[in-house]
Structure 1
Amino acid sequence: MSATSMTSTEPDLLYSEEEEALRAAVRDLLTDHCAPADVIARAESDAPHDLALWKTLAGDMGLAGLLVPEEHGGQGATHREAAVVLEELGRAVAPVPYLTSAVVATEALLACTGDAAAGLLSRLASGREIGVLAVGLHTGPGSFRTVGAESGLLYGELTGIADAMAADVLLVPTEDGGLHAVDAGDATITPQVSLDPTRPLATVSLDAVRGCRLGDAGPAVRRALRAGAGLLASEQLGLADWTLTETVRYLKERKQFNRPVGGFQALKHRLAQLWLEITGLRAAARSAADALAREADADVAVALAQAYAAPVAVHAAEEALQLHGGIGMTWEHPVHLYLKRAKADSIAYGTAGAHREALARLADLAAP
């Protein structure tokens, strides 16, 4: 094989010019419309989702349709571009349903065929509607909960559904193996106490609610959860990168004994260790996004990224809170939101341990 042909098949994990331009556009928007003080205030309110920001992201910028083919009204982009968006949303802990609607629900619909699925996909791509897959956020590789179905009517209860309160349409898996679209207004959606107020959870109850069958739940849910886990690593990367950047900035400004705290050797070592971990996380997250985009060893890349991402993001947020000292322990400072998001993300779409087990099976290295 020639060097040229080898190069053409190898993944390029560096950001392209188009991806950097997309990053700049999203970051500018979030700088103007998603200030930390506003996120804190919204998190403490009864309306945690910023639907005005979502409208701008999804409708005006067209980012809800990145993964949707052009023939269905989307941008026809790839998981790499979606990963860039999620990095920036993670940096801002933006309270918008991008991961749940533009990635997870969209991926589930892409596994379905027929006019009903295509129509719903177009509405999600345009940002006119928000879709949520009614599978618990804590659900990882393996089985998922379903509800009963009889004569086109759905019965049952599902818990831990992220962003359900913002949904227009719920994608509900049923015990007969189907995936059904349900009008969110027909379901009873009850908020749950959520560790992460920027991605609230809810219980969804269905009592003789009519659903429209879209396709088979098994492949659709597996595809959706794999994409969710893989691109969640990019959100965790953005979160971790923000905490390191802000901590370095703070330690340069904070003085003790008339010298910047950041000059103390012990703190330099802690920051250097974080930088190394986040650099590794960037490689793992980019690899997962690229593998999903190319459909090349995606299962392995996603499992590897999530096995690594959660501990790094949590460690970065914990260090940020500690190194910010007294101000870091207050509700007025946003670092607590990053720690909550990091902790919640650490069990989203499967824990690091579950992904390590999946990786071991994929590599045929399962424990005896």
Structure 2
Amino acid sequence: MSKRGFIVVGSTGSVGTQALDVLAEHRDEYAVIGLAAGSQLDLLLEQALDFHVPVIGLTTSPAGGEAAVRARLRELAAERGIADPVETIHLGDNAAEAVAGLAADMVLNAITGAAGLGATLAALEHGTDVALANKESLIIGGSIVLDAARASGAQLVPVDSEHSAIAQALRAGTHGEVSKLIITASGGPFRGMTRDALRRVTPAQALNHPTWSMGSMITINSATLVNKGLEVIEAHLLFDIDFDHIEVVVHPQSQIHSMVEFTDASTIAQISPPDMRLPISYALGTQDDGTTRRLTSGAIPHNWGQPMHWSFEPVNHLAFPALGLAIDAGKKGRSYPAVLNAANEELVSAFIAGDIAFTGIDKGLARALAAHEPAAEHTVETVLAADAWARDFARADVAEQNGGR
């Protein structure tokens, strides 16, 4: 039996490294044929050597260019006493797209932020299934991404734990039998805090997530609940469910990752430990016909002999208005989600740098969305233009907030 070929872009990040951990356990069935990363050259090269990868990409070209990469690769290979397996090296802004566009069975897109759009489209246009950890590319691309998938027949497979949970629960019924999607949120580190208290939280506090270990951008997004708003938009696009039938509830224990309520009042929940290797393995097990073969993930199952307590509570929209702002942007569509995402990335970076207060993030988002005037057409060009406009607007907003704080 020939091995299925996998590509991982964003391979040096949290999701990318965990995906490679899962693939390492299934080397007899899966081959990693391409890897791309942002700037962590040595880790990328180590991964290429570990999996004998023929094609790699690095979006941040090091001093000395390809010659320097080749020299470092030979050095690392010599330390292991093995041959250099890399045949092709892509460097520069389009490196991830070049790798994602290779012929493969699946591309796992684990790039952070809007930068992942090009890689998603490159894979889909080639007819390659995309395991989507980079939710932003679907959110800002919207119909552009969906149309590319339909045109080539490629599948969009969710990797986020919430959307993987929904996909698994949806196997219990048909689309017409769905009453509601219920996305769970841990509530982040500031659950229960008042709006006034949130003004005084520090970046260090916001980066201390109670459940998940993630990159700084996603961790802050979880604290503001922007991440849940993005997940609502993603769920709407992935599963073709109206926004009015998608609900967010706070579940601090992060054991039930999402639920589907059906028209007969049955609710199907997906329950597992908060370990990203599980949704990653579920996505990687997706077959060409859309069925999924469950792979061992390395996640440790629950001990059902131990007492457990799980609770649910509504979102405090007064304290965390960013969730509602994100959902409103999703309902408006066109380039509004791109503005939401781009402005948020700039505002989060400003908060981490200490330039604005925690509550300055959602205030800046509200101002950016109110000021945005979308283009008549929704194309890659107008999405990228909206992204650039939102970043400029947010930077100016940061300067104003910082000066007046």
Please, what TM-score do these two structures have when normalized by structure 1? Answer: 0.25
Q: As a proportion of its length, which structure holds more helix?
A: 1
Q: Which has the higher contact order (CA 8 A, sep 6+)?
A: 1
Give TM-score, length-normalised by structure 2.
Answer: 0.24
